[in-house]
Amino acid sequence: MNDLNNSQKSRRQFLQKSALLAVGTTLAPTFLASGTPTHPAPLMKRTFGRIGFKVTTFGLGGQASLQWTPENIDPVAIIEKAYNLGVNYFDTSNAYGHSQLMYGKAFTRLGLVPGTKNYNSSRRKSIFLTSKTMLRFGKGGDKSPVAGFSNGPAGSKALDDVRRTLSQIFGDGSGSYPKEAWLDMVLVHNLNKMEEVDAIYEGYDNRDPNAPTIGVLAALRDIRDGSNHTGLNPKNERLIRHIGFSGHNDTAVMMEMIQRDSEDLLDAMLVAINANDQLYFNMQHNVIPIAAAKKMGIIAMKVFADGAMYSKKAEWSNKASHVVMEVGSKELPADQLIKYSLTTPGIHTAIIGIGKINEDPAQCQLTFNLKHAQVKPGDMTEQQRKNIERLAAKAKEGKTNFFQKAYQELTPPREPKVTRGRNGAQITWHTAYAGDSAIDRYEIWRNGDFVVEIPFEPQTTKTPYHYEDKHSAAETASYLVKVVDKKNREADAKV
């Protein structure tokens, strides 16, 4: 009887272990309060905007130890553990040192590389792999002050970056890659200036192969569609499935990036969002609502402000000693910061870089972060969000988001204009920028008198808001366009 029980117990343990490590699995540990895994259970997922893929709420960030690897840390083991725990969103970049090469080693072991003996296409389809390029042009633009940069050979262009990624993750690392290899998405990374938006959109409406300069979007569209309108994809390769962009700094620039996309080419946005966001020119009341209105996939980053919420200085990381090995404190619980980002309306997943893993869940950053990313969109009340904002504001006196533009209070509606005619007047304007509270409504006033209230909706295109006034006084009236936020603060613009 004991032999039978032992046999059944051994088989049960084997099946549980096999389930956890299964190919393409969606299983991961259920955690006790102590963080100790008990039995396999599904990881929480959210539908990734109009892309439709169901992403785990925790995604593995491609920086931290994957980019600046400290001694005695194996970045390949971090990737493998994330995959085996059921994580299905993976992030890297051409600007992240050897991060892509580490993915290549891990993916080879995991059977995710086409052409290898252990390759399984179902495994590859079960994950979503995103890389990035910092380059702004697919062709030309070498002397442009916003050309961007690549870790690749001198003179590299955007499509060279994509092929380099494919080679480093799925190929020989020296330029070759299997015909069946693809990236789920490429992001135009780290957008900061309006001039960059101009460069990126060069040729967007007119993909002329004879043009001296072609922006990155037109080039990426060709390798997404398997076309060659730009002349940059002569083999008609289809190397990527989706295109997006990222930004840490200026929410106004990111809004412009989305609004210019009249053909919905951009499927996703990677955006900095943490509990100190509203101390800066914030993302959550400005660009995130626009991306959500366009049903884009939205990925959160800088959940811990690149470690500046804790031990690291508020500055860009560039070496192994900058990798934060311990997060969280009694004063500022790390689990609450994760929860804050994942309960920000519009967010689908949060990428978090990992410094170290450990077999002891209490010592494992990956296990900890994954546990606390099991969050539903409404799991934090508005009051709870305000509470964690108050705690986060004490970290380095709130000066954690070094990557983000300084605070901007509620602005008046932008570029107001009135066009008069026989039938009245048409008032147009572009969106105001929100301060630390969401915009509630616009109001039109004529000759000092209230006319109409217009509930706020995100401006998703370059077409301005408009109101048609057919009042008899419209031909000569003076107008005021007023914006009011959720805290009942106002800003107005005379027309």
pLDDT at 297 over 60: yes
Q: What is the pLDDT of residue 354?
A: 97
Q: Are 49 and 295 in contact (CB under 8 A)?
A: yes
Q: Are 66 and 99 in contact (CB under 8 A)?
A: yes
Mean pLDDT score, 281-285: 98
Q: What is the pLDDT of residue 423?
A: 87
Per-residue pLDDT tens digits for 367-391: 999 999 999 999 999 999 999 999 9
Which helix (H) or strand (E) segment holds residue 290: the answer is helix 287-293
Per-residue pLDDT tens digits for 170-221: 999 999 999 999 999 999 999 999 999 999 999 999 989 999 999 999 999 9
Per-residue pLDDT tens digits for 424-476: 999 999 999 999 999 999 999 999 999 999 999 999 999 999 999 999 999 99
Quote the tokens at residue 41: 């259970």
For the chain, percent of residues with pLDDT exceeding 70? 92
pTM: 0.91
Mean pLDDT score, 395-417: 98
pLDDT at 356 over 80: yes
Q: Kindly report the number of other CB atoms within 10 A of residue 35's CB atom.
A: 16
Q: Are 209 and 231 in contact (CB under 8 A)?
A: yes
Residues 6+ apart with CB under 8 A from 125: 24
**Torsions phi, psi for 450 (to 5 deg):** -65, 135
For the chain, percent of residues with pLDDT exceeding 90? 90
Domains and CATH numbers, the chain: 1-40 (no CATH), 43-398 (3.20.20.100), 414-494 (2.60.40.10)
Phi-psi region of 97 (alpha: psi -120 to 50; beta: other; left: phi over 0): left
Partners of 267 in beta bridges = none
Q: What is the pLDDT of residue 434?
A: 98
Q: What is the pLDDT of residue 290?
A: 98
Partners of 11 in beta bridges = none
Quote the tokens at residue 22: 């299964």
pLDDT band at 36 (very low <50, low <70, confident <90, very high): very low
Q: How far apart are CA 158 and CA 161, in angstroms?
A: 5
pLDDT at 7 over 70: no
pLDDT at 6 over 70: no
Q: What is the pLDDT of residue 90?
A: 98
pLDDT band at 345 (very low <50, low <70, confident <90, very high): very high
pLDDT band at 116 (very low <50, low <70, confident <90, very high): very high
| Residue whose structure tokens are 């995604």 | 59
Q: How far apart are CA 411 and CA 330, in angstroms?
A: 37
pLDDT at 28 over 60: no
pLDDT at 296 over 60: yes
Handedness of CA 174, 176, 178, 182 (dihedral sign): positive
Mean pLDDT estimate for the chain: 92
Per-residue pLDDT tens digits for 219-230: 999 999 999 999
Angle at 264 between CA 260 and CA 270, to 5 degrees: 80
Q: What is the pLDDT of residue 41?
A: 67
Q: How far apart are CA 490 and CA 482, in angstroms?
A: 7
